[in-house]
Amino acid sequence: MYIIFEGIDGAGKSTQIEIIKKWLEDNGLEVETLVEPTDSEIGVLIRKILKRPDAATDRMQKVLGLLFAADRMLIMDKLEDDKKIFLSDRSFISSLAYQEPQDWIGSLNKYVKKPDLVLLLDVDIKNSALRFSGEDEFENKEFLTKVRDNYLDIIKEFNHEIINANNGINKVSSDVKKAIASKVGLCRDCIE
Ligand code: TYD
């Protein structure tokens, strides 16, 4: 089971993944969390490039598109373990939403495992900016508005749920649990 959490920066993905991991484990399920970019050499290089002043340029975004795809290939074997539930903080869907052009990004990620469920933690750009404490130049409103629109379009292709991430942490996690429960054999109506 491969469940992907997506959303713009500041949507609360990592917080929710932690809560959901604990909930699933408390219910006796085996869970592994993944984060993209990973902690591989390629992931480390990606994070370094993201901090460069020219990270937002068209050329660097193309370079990042290639590196994100390579970094992702490193974790694909892992996902073959069908006893586990994988909760992933970002995926190839981030590449489709953040990098361009989409058809090229799509072909670079052609062999990536497709998700059983995509959860889009959808947050207003205003709230994203409030929650986001980083100082990256390209984390700007205009860019994030475009990324959010891309997300809403891309996820239509996959089994997905849009979660209103403007709500408080508990309401969001309850909505996420409801979206996941039936997929993993847990009782949806038991969730408060
Ligand atoms: P993330 O770790 O979520 O952000 P943070 O630095 O706040 O922990 O991801 C790093 C950035 O990488 C984020 O701005 C989104 C971007 N990204 C892409 O542009 N394409 C991708 O394919 C992925 C996985 C991430």
User: Domains in the chain, start-ordered, CATH in brackets?
Assistant: 2-182 (3.40.50.300)
Q: Report the DSSP beta bridge partners of residue 59.
A: none
Q: Give 187 Cα–ligand 1 centroid separation in angstroms.
A: 33
Q: Give 29 Cα–ligand 1 centroid separation in angstroms.
A: 28
End-to-end CA distance of the chain: 24
Alpha-carbon gap, residue 90 to 67, rounded angstroms:
15
What is the pLDDT averaged over residues 12-26? 98
Cα-Cα-Cα-Cα dihedral sign, residues 134, 139, 140, 145: negative
At 128, the pLDDT band (50, 70, 90 cuts) reads confident
Judge if the beta carbon of residue 98 lies within 6 A of ligand 1.
yes
Nearest one of 10, 34, 4 to 136, comparing CA atoms? 10
pLDDT score recorded for residue 126? 82
pLDDT score recorded for residue 137? 43
Instruction: Answer yes or no: are the C-beta atoms of 3 and 119 closer than 8 Å.
Output: yes
Q: What percent of the chain has pLDDT over 90?
A: 88
How distant, in Å, are the alpha carbons of 31, 166, 183 from that of 18?
Answer: 11, 18, 18
What is the pLDDT averaged over residues 27-55? 97
Distance of CA 135 to the CA centre of its chain: 20
pLDDT score recorded for residue 163? 98
What is the pLDDT averaged over residues 171-185? 97
Q: Give 39 Cα–ligand 1 centroid separation in angstroms.
A: 13
Q: Give 15 Cα–ligand 1 centroid separation in angstroms.
A: 15
Helix (H, G, I), strand (E, B) or coil at 118: strand
Q: Give 26 Cα–ligand 1 centroid separation in angstroms.
A: 29
Judge if the beta carbon of residue 90 lies within 6 A of ligand 1.
yes
- Tokens for 154? 């891309």
pLDDT score recorded for residue 141? 84
Judge if the beta carbon of residue 37 lies within 6 A of ligand 1.
yes
Residue 77 CB-density burial (10 A; 0-12 exposed, 13-18 middle, 19+ buried) = exposed
Among the ranges given (97-101, 113-117, 122-126, 187-191), the one the predictor scored with the smallest mean pLDDT:
122-126
What is the pLDDT averaged over residues 126-134? 69
What is the pLDDT averaged over residues 79-92? 97
- Residue 47 pLDDT greater than 70, yes or no: yes
pLDDT score recorded for residue 136? 54
- Residue 45 pLDDT greater than 70, yes or no: yes
Q: Which long-range contacts (CB under 8 A, 24 or more apart) does 186-190 make?
A: 186/27
What is the pLDDT averaged over residues 138-143? 74
Helix (H, G, I), strand (E, B) or coil at 119: strand
Judge if the beta carbon of residue 45 lies within 6 A of ligand 1.
no
Pick the atom of ligand 1 nearest to 134's CA.
7
The protein residue with its alpha carbon nearest to ligand 1, atom 8, reads: 9
- Tokens for 22? 């604990």
Average per-residue pLDDT in the chain? 94
Nearest one of 7, 2, 1 to 175, comparing CA atoms? 7
pLDDT score recorded for residue 133? 56
